[in-house]
Amino acid sequence: MALPAALQNLSLPVIASPMFIASGPQLVAAQCKAGIVGAFPALNARPAELLDTWLTDLQKELAEFQQANPGKRVGPIAVNQIVHQSNDRLEHDVEVCVRHKVPIIISSLRAPPKEMMDAVHSYGGIVMHDVISIRHAQKALEAGVDGLILVAAGAGGHAGALSPFALVGEVRKFFDGPLALSGSIATGGAILAAQAMGADLAYIGSRWLATKESNVSEDYRNAIVESAASDIVYTNLFTGVHGNYLKKSIVNAGLDPEALPESDKSKMSFGSGSAKAWRDIWGAGQGVGLMDDVPTVAEMVERLKREYDAARGRLCLS
């Protein structure tokens, strides 16, 4: 099946994952200008009224950039919506995105309601849904989503525990539509591997944390560069949903990463309490061991392109 128009004219088959706190307008603008999908969670815009301002300014900036650089590929904006009863902003945030005709909505946690799907489809937008299991994938497709984002083992933040080989392979048995894969993808070779496995696009998060445009502290950036896969802890303590976090931040919070208690999923929250968790307890994927510097987004995308082309060349020669 051909990809939707919003996902076709990219410089690399990459969607930048929307990261709590870290993904702000500066990072998203740089991602889009580099030709990939730039994304942010609607909840990063606080107060809620700021979402309209962010989208207005981003769309204006990207339109002016495209006009000044007519030969460049400019990626679309994607906005993440948390579909959960704790998110009392969902209706407002969807309405703002519809008004701005955001081309890609990324829904998370629960399948989006029909009203949300109809609103996004009314102007030609598409909905990609985060899933960590086959059951979640099937439920999302029953709700009518246009594509799936498979969050496999090793992804930063909220992540599943299934091997990407298993997850992609099983989903492709019943779905031939747009598929993005997440989980320790930090190089151009890994992007190509995701496609070879059956995904259409790579869904990359942690690599953007260690860029100059990310909205994180210098301590957080440095911790990404200094860490390896063994420094990632998988726990549901901080939000009620299992995710991967940097061990250093857990230690800094006065906790023992080797003896974390289980949390109650029913108490999941994405309000101010969750934002504090993401600020102090740093999400990151197992691919951090491949991140040794802090480039700009433009520099990082160019590097990924070179690695991607080199990997394709090696396959052609073998």
3-class secondary structure for the chain?
Answer: CCCCHHHCCCCCCEEECCCCCCCCHHHHHHHHHCCCEEEEEHHHCCCCCHHHHHHHHHHHHHHHHHHHCCCCCCCCEEEEEECCCCCCCHHHHHHHHHHCCCCEEEEECCCCCHHHHHHHHCCCCEEEEEECCHHHHHHHHHCCCCEEEEECCCCCEECCCCCHHHHHHHHCCCCCCCEEEECCCCCHHHHHHHHHHCCCEEEECHHHHCCCCCCCCHHHHHHHHHCCHHHEEEECCCCCCCEEEEHHHHHHCCCCCCCCCCCCHHHCCCCHHHHHHHHHCCECCHHHHHCCCCCCHHHHHHHHHHHHHHHHHHHHHC
Does the pLDDT at position 267 exceed 60?
Answer: no
Instruction: Give the pLDDT of residue 71.
Output: 93
Higher pLDDT, 13 or 255: 13
Determine what percent of the chain is predicted with pLDDT higher than 70.
Answer: 95
- Encode pLDDT of 116-148 as tens digits: 999 999 999 999 999 999 999 999 999 999 999
Domain boundaries defined on the chain: 8-216+287-317
The pLDDT of residue 278 is: 67
pLDDT tens column, 143-196: 999 999 999 999 998 889 999 999 999 999 999 999 999 999 999 999 999 999
The architecture CATH gives domain 8-216+287-317: Alpha-Beta Barrel (3.20)
